[in-house]
Amino acid sequence: MTLVPMEERHLAALAQIEKACFHAPWSADMLREELGKGIFLVAEQDGAAAGYVGCQTVLDEGYITNVAVSPDCRRQGIGRALIAELAERAKRAGLAFVTLEVRASNTPAIALYEGAGFKPVGVRKNFYTAPSEDAVLMTLYLKE
């Protein structure tokens, strides 16, 4: 597995991964708008996109927008590697923290984020739709 910055060549495959993972997936055009912004990393296996993580940045703050791994590639450490590399790059970029929302029922994702050092810091009531569900707000602090 190789982790590389998201490029135009990844967009069609990432849009397909989005469709497989989310109720309201990002399209290739939506992903294209993020090129060159923030920290967007793609995990490649044998030259094909297996997953990605996206983090928008504002000043010294990072906001993870998407973490997605192709269903065929799960349970191989791809999500863990993406989160770890994102955290390392965010730290090198001088970000104070990285934060995200996750469905309260998504225990595998919550365990992944906790394993990477994220802490639950709040709840966003009815943040998700189809079905309606609360989001757990989790933050990884990168500076003291």
pLDDT above 70 as % of the chain: 99
pLDDT surpasses 90 at 45: yes
Contact 34, 6 (CB under 8 A): yes
What is the per-residue DSSP string for 59-95?
Answer: TTEEEEEEEEE-GGGTTSSHHHHHHHHHHHHHHHTT-
Q: What pairs with residue 136 in β-bridges? A: 102, 123
Q: How confident is the model at residue 23 (pLDDT cuts 50, 70, 90)?
A: confident
Mean pLDDT of the chain: 94
| Residue 95 token pair | 């970000």
pLDDT given for residue 143 in this prediction: 83
What CA–CA distances, in Å, run from 46 to 1, 2, 43, 49, 72? 7, 9, 10, 9, 14
> Mean pLDDT over residues 59-63, rounded?
96
> Which tens digit of pLDDT belongs to each residue from 92-101?
999 999 999 9
- Residues noted as catalytic: 101, 113
